[in-house]
């Protein structure tokens, strides 16, 4: 038997799924943006990343 009573929801509970959706969109957009920047740098100047691992501790990283 239903009394029609619903317990009160915590403040902001309705915004939870919306906030998660916005967060996913922001993080995904940032990921795609930085991936595009990387592709642009690598396409414009492939030697840009050459000195990146020169000071690595492991030889296979330096030589790879």
Domain boundary assignment for the chain: 25-63
Q: What is the rounded CA–CA span in Å between residue 56 and residue 60?
A: 9
pLDDT at 42: 92
> 0.85 exceeded by the pTM?
no
SS3 content of the chain, % helix, strand, coil (to 5): 65, 0, 35
Say if residues 15 and 26 touch (Cβ distance below 8 Å).
no
Residues of the chain short of pLDDT 50, as ranges, are none
Q: In this predicted structure, what is the pLDDT of residue 35?
A: 96
Distance CA 30, CA 32 (A): 5
pLDDT value of position 64 = 76
């Amino acid at each position: 038997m239903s009394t029609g009573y619903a317990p009160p929801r915590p403040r902001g509970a309705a915004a939870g799924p919306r906030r998660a959706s916005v967060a996913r969109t922001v993080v995904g957009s940032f990921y795609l943006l930085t991936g595009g920047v990387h592709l642009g740098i690598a396409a414009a100047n492939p030697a840009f990343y050459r000195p990146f691992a020169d000071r690595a501790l492991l030889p296979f990283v330096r030589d790879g």
